[in-house]
Amino acid sequence: MEVQKIELVVGDIKGNREIAYALLTAIQPYFVNQNVIEEEGKLTIESLLTDEYYSWDKLTTMIEEEKLRHLINVGQLFNSLKDSIYTYELSP
């Protein structure tokens, strides 16, 4: 088990922050659960990685169709995403 922490500047969150925060904190079977802490203009995202999740290295070796399947999973999380435009980056 491993805890991964990422820090972002709040200003780097573009578009609808409410949707972005909802995506970051959503509990879904396909994604790692995360805790988001906002303080002093920055976001700290903590993820608990357990053995049931595969590594980023495995994702980078997948074919494009498998990577796109992950994006489709994101789109199925919230109805409000159906009619919105958002960008994504598959990165660790």
What would the pLDDT profile of 1-50 be if each residue is shown by its tens digit? Answer: 788 888 989 888 888 888 888 888 888 776 778 888 989 999 898 988 78
39-62: b or e for each residue (b if 16 or more CB lie within 10 Å)?
Answer: eeeebebebeeeeeeeeeeeeeee
pLDDT of residue 63: 92
pLDDT of residue 76: 74
pLDDT of residue 70: 78
pLDDT of residue 88: 61
How would residue 87 be classed by pLDDT, with cut points 50, 70 and 90? low
Domain limits, the chain: 2-81
